[in-house]
Amino acid sequence: MPVAPPDGDTNTAEATASRPVHRLPFWVNQRLGLLVLIVSLSALFGVLRPAFLDERLVLFPLLRDISTLTVVALAQMVVLSVGHMNLAVGRMAAFGALFAGFGYDRLGLPLPLGLLLCLFAGAAIGALTGWIITRTGVSSFVVTLAMDFALLGLVSLLYSALTENAAFTTKPSGLAELRSYSLADICVGPVCGSPAVPQLAQFTVLALLGLGFLYACTRIGRELLLTGANPAAAELSGIPTGRRVILAHTLSGLLAALAGFMAAVSTGTFRASIGDDFMLPSFLGAVLGGTLLTGGVVSVLGVLLGTSLVGVIRKGLDLLGVGLESLNIYLGCVLLLALSADRVRTVLSYRKVVRST
Amino acid sequence: MSNVLLECQAIVKVFPGVRALDGVGLRLTAGSVHALLGENGAGKSTLIKVLTGVHTPNSGRLTWCGDEVHLRSPLEATRTGIGVVHQERNLIPGFSVAENITLQSPPSHRGLIDRAAMTAPALTCLGELGLDIDPDQPVRELSVAQQQLVEIAKALYTESRVLLLDEPTASLSPQEAERLFEVVRRLTARGTCVVFVSHKLEEVFAICDTVTVLRDGRSVLESSPLADHTQDDVVSLMVGRAHSATEMRPREVDTSAAPVLSLDRVSTAAGHRDISLDVRPGEIVGLYGLVGAGRSELVKAVLGLDRVTGGEIRLHGKPARIASPRQALHVFGIGYLTENRKEEGVFLEQPIVRNITVTVWKRLAKAFGFVSSREEQEVSHDLVERLGIRISGLGQNAGELSGGNQQKVSLAKWLAADTRLLIVDEPTVGVDVRTKHAFHELIWELARDGLPILLISSDLAEMITLADRVVVMADHRIRGEVDNDRDYERMSGRIIRIIHDRALSAVGPKAVRA
């Protein structure tokens, strides 16, 4: 957050009269609220079902899921930042994973090269989507919806043409380790990491750091946000809005493909159904974290927290023996509560500031 | 005073960080035209919102015909008899005139809207205003002025006895404004009270009979007969000190210098033909014309947003093909202060610091595109001081500022970028007297320091105050050019004659462009 200079309005005589600097109290911060919720819910679940805190059996798969879904939500956040949407995140993930699987199965690529191919494919399909949007001026909602259908067909078609059981099963060396290794397998002398943290999370951490740097510190990140905030003003201010939109969609495709790869590694097979359930969580994670659907405001950390909250709630309720159907009802209620609690906090603090004026 | 319709006493309305209204009183009597004056940010808009039920005051009393009322929603205000015509049009473009007029309580038959029964009441309302508009015509086909009158008709339909008009003449030609005043006179004759909010004092003195002046959220003059005051009185009350219209100091322009921007018989896809124009260093060239003359469109073509179909644009003597505003800024150093501040000028939901530094990120960026926020702060802080922008912090959103300060923020980004040519489009529309004056000083100083400026304005006084030469445009062509001798009477006569000659020959449906 930029820090205000001590007093920006000292040069007109009347300006000093009123208008104190108003700042909302720290507890209004949405991210902090999410963090508190995550910690207290984890503690609650841990007390009710001590098994919840089992590092290998519960926390490890939970964190692996959260890692993947965080990347999915980041893919959504990037397009939301320019005021667009990507309804095809799931299918772009499947598209990327298809290329990785093809690389391992047919080309015999080593693990990193397959990942690279997968990322490239995702970026390319994202760039194409962005290009179509800027060239035609059709809304991203429509274009990505169409892209979703097109890829759904294409990916299934390619799988059935290229494989026998609609899945690539060849596993390059290192894939099994990537799937099941945690920080406990990395030791510096006698000190080993936690068995709860999957090694797969390295990709998520990289994506978080990269995007955090992009949005907080760089010109391109700021230009993406302003393009989302007001495209007309951005264009007139010298921002190449068309290119920024294409960039956002390219990044979105790339991140979606990364998530697809991670999902494939987690399940062990490269199949067409990867990413089927990505779309709604992608919005959920981003929006819970404070990213605006209308563009111009993102929170990279918020995406991680939002996705984690959803993951913790799901896992916790699951362990409490709540059936899948009722689990979704509870989940809906908790999310509604989380979002309205945020609103309540904002309203309360607004009143407080008004009263002190 | 008799027939008091609406009275408010000691109204207080607080927003975070600001007491927008701090003890405002107002008394509106039947059959009067009441002027509500004040600079931007004085609290006029907030007061209107309190009177129309949008905002609930924190304290204070509202009485309607002597009884205390609480207006909790715009609907309650409408039912009480308070109508408002906002600065922005609030009609539904695809609906017909009749549908728009009867929108708030459409005639219905067994729960279904009865379209046939709309026409009669709509015609009655239009008739009371002396308007001849087809009630079945979609609103989007009407001119801006006609749409405004439809909004007034809409207020009549809900039987408003108090009608608030917020800057009603801002987008009207003098003839259209005169027409509006006739309507206002008709309304007051039937006992309606019209509240007139305007920055144009000539109009206020022509039509109003009582006046309330707001300053910093307080009513410094409360429901006083306008005849007791002069324009200078009122201005000094608004500003808070005696207002002096200082003459601009003389400034030399080297007319032999090579032009920075020169258009040579330029034609555009927007319909401009044979536009030739030069702007020299330190020169302010005025581009005058009525709304729809094609001035802003010409600028859009120069910036590469519209296609240039013929002729040549030269910058610093060299032919320039400008493909985009980005190229215009970063290659040719052209800054464009837009006339649509909210839509194209500022990023309302973004911090001031970003609004100002957007044009210099390219320059500030280091390895990996890293932009230091400390440098951003420095650049913004300097400009905030230099332009006297009133803010509570650089992290504040631009949308929280008053209109004049938003406009300054919008200008600040071009000054940050050290542009070598500045195009300013209607820089002081909807800006209060003091800010307007400060803006004129600023533009003048920029030109004195050698910056070439192309000034687009529909405000003749502004043109004659600032411009060295006035180029007159009508119907997408240049109709004449006048060297400014700073004699208002003579200059305005010459300019209007140029436009008028053409207007006479161009009367027809095509000449009317909203």
pLDDT in tens, A142-174: 999 999 999 999 999 999 999 888 888 888 888
- Kindly report the nearest CA distance between residue B96 and chain A, in angstroms: 28
- Rounded CA-CA distance A355/B15 in Å is 9
Beta-carbon separation of B394 and A5 below 8 A: yes
Neighbours of B388 (CB within 10 A): 16
pLDDT for A356 equals 63
3-state secondary structure of B214: strand
Q: Of all helices (H) and strands (E), which one includes residue A79?
A: helix A60-81
Residues of B in contact with A239 (CB under 8 A): 326, 358
Fold agreement (B4-239, B261-333+419-511)? yes
Q: Show Cβ contacts of residue A239 under 8 Å, excluding neighbours closer than 6 positions.
A: A223, A226, A227, B326, B358
- Rounded CA-CA distance A333/A322 in Å is 14
- Rounded CA-CA distance A121/A97 in Å is 9
The domains found in chain A, sorted by start residue, are 59-183+194-338 (1.10.3470)
Beta-carbon separation of A218 and B370 below 8 A: yes
Neighbours of B277 (CB within 10 A): 21
Beta-carbon separation of A238 and B344 below 8 A: no
The domain covering B261-333+419-511 belongs, at the CATH homologous superfamily level, to P-loop containing nucleotide triphosphate hydrolases (3.40.50.300)
- Interchain contact A22–B (C-beta under 8 A): yes
- Interchain contact A5–B (C-beta under 8 A): yes
Nearest CB partner across the interface for A219, out of B240, B365, B392: B365
Residues of chain A by 3-state class (helix, strand, coil), percent to 5:
70, 5, 25
Range with the lowest mean pLDDT among A10-19, A206-215, B66-75?
A10-19
What is the average pLDDT across A321-344? 76
Beta-carbon separation of B240 and A14 below 8 A: yes
**Distances from the Cα of A15 to the Cα of B47, B388, B402, angstroms:** 21, 10, 13
Q: How many CA atoms lie within 13 A of B9 on its CB side?
A: 7
What are the backbone dihedrals phi and psi of residue B13, each rounded to the nearest 5 degrees, phi first? Answer: -135, 125
- Rounded CA-CA distance B476/B471 in Å is 12
What is the average pLDDT across B406-431? 90
The Cα angle at residue B206 between residues B204 and B207, in degrees rounded to 5: 70
Q: Which of B2, B1, B6 is nearest to B193 (CA)?
A: B6
Q: Which residues pair with B83 in a beta bridge?
A: B163
- Kindly report the nearest CA distance between residue A83 and chain B, in angstroms: 13
DSSP code for B138: B
Q: Show Cβ contacts of residue B237 under 8 Å, excluding neighbours closer than 6 positions.
A: B213, B215, B220, B221
pLDDT in tens, B235-245: 778 776 544 44
Q: Which of A220, A224, A237 to mutate to test the interface with B (most CBs of B within 10 A)?
A: A237
Report domain extents, chain B.
4-239, 261-333+419-511
Residues of B in contact with A28 (CB under 8 A): none
ipTM of the complex as predicted:
0.81
Beta-carbon separation of A226 and B361 below 8 A: no
Residues in chain A: 357
Beta-carbon separation of A218 and B371 below 8 A: yes
pLDDT in tens, A242-258: 999 999 999 999 999 99
Let me know: does B468 contact B284? Beta carbons within 8 Å.
Answer: yes
**B337 to chain A: nearest residue by CA?**
A236
Place of tokens 């922008």: B389
3-state secondary structure B320-367: CCCCCHHHHHHCCCEEEECCCHHHHHCCCCCEHHHHHHCCCHHHHCCH
**B318 CB-contact burial (10 Å; exposed 0-12 / middle 13-18 / buried 19+):** exposed
Beta-carbon separation of B361 and A354 below 8 A: no
DSSP code for B316: T
pLDDT in tens, A255-284: 999 999 999 999 988 999 999 989 988 998
- Interchain contact A18–B (C-beta under 8 A): yes
Beta-carbon separation of B371 and A233 below 8 A: no
Residue B484 pLDDT more than 60? yes
pLDDT for A346 equals 67
What is the average pLDDT across A179-187? 83
Q: Model confidence at B453, in pLDDT bands (50, 70, 90)?
A: very high
pLDDT for B262 equals 92
Percent of chain B with pLDDT over 70: 93
pLDDT in tens, A191-219: 777 888 898 999 999 999 999 999 999 99
- Rounded CA-CA distance B370/B350 in Å is 19
- Rounded CA-CA distance A250/A273 in Å is 22
Residues of chain B by 3-state class (helix, strand, coil), percent to 5:
40, 25, 35
Let me know: does A63 contact A196? Beta carbons within 8 Å.
Answer: yes
203-242 of A, contacting B, C-beta below 8 A: 213, 217-223, 225-226, 229-230, 232-240
The yes or no reply on domain B4-239 and CATH 3.60.15.10 is no
- Kindly report the nearest CA distance between residue B398 and chain A, in angstroms: 12
pLDDT for A3 equals 38
